[in-house]
């Protein structure tokens, strides 16, 4: 995990108060993981003492960040050889997760 400023630590505390869990994803040791339910995102420390979302928030497949792909005309969340259909309900929950995370980060800057 990267060294964090007091302001970045305060941001993480604010996220925890809003129901996000701070987690580690070993494959992404330079980033901070945040999770709520089956959804997660990576946060990158940036100059000025803030944090920003790195990449796109994702659905967790086997407790790992997945990628969204289209196969056979359907969308899937995939991690290694495992996949889970990206149903409209899951896509909406992912959208809500991303929106709430983004709003939470904006309120702390």
d(CA 76, CA 71): 7
Output the pTM of the full model. 0.91
Q: What token pair was written down for 63? A: 């407790």
Tell whether 27 is covered by a domain: yes
Domain count across the chain: 1
Tell whether 13 is covered by a domain: yes
* DSSP letter, residue 5: -
> Residue 19 is part of which domain span?
6-107
Tell whether 75 is covered by a domain: yes
Q: Does residue 1 surpass a pLDDT of 80?
A: no
Exposure on the CB side of residue 21, measured as CA atoms within 13 A: 9
Tell whether 1 is covered by a domain: no
Least confident range from 2-6, 26-30, 51-55, 76-80: namely 2-6
How does pLDDT run across 52-73, given as a tens digit for each residue? 999 999 999 999 999 999 999 9
């Amino acid at each position: 995990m990267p060294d964090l400023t007091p302001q970045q630590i305060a941001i993480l505390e604010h996220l925890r108060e809003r129901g996000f869990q701070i987690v580690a994803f070993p494959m992404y040791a330079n980033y901070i993981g945040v999770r709520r339910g089956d959804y997660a995102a990576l946060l990158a420390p940036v100059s000025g003492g803030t944090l920003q979302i790195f990449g796109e928030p994702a659905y967790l497949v086997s407790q790992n960040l997945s990628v969204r792909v289209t196969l056979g005309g359907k969308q899937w969340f995939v991690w290694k050889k495992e996949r889970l259909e990206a149903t409209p309900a899951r896509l909406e929950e992912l959208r809500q997760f991303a929106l709430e995370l983004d709003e939470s980060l904006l309120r702390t800057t």
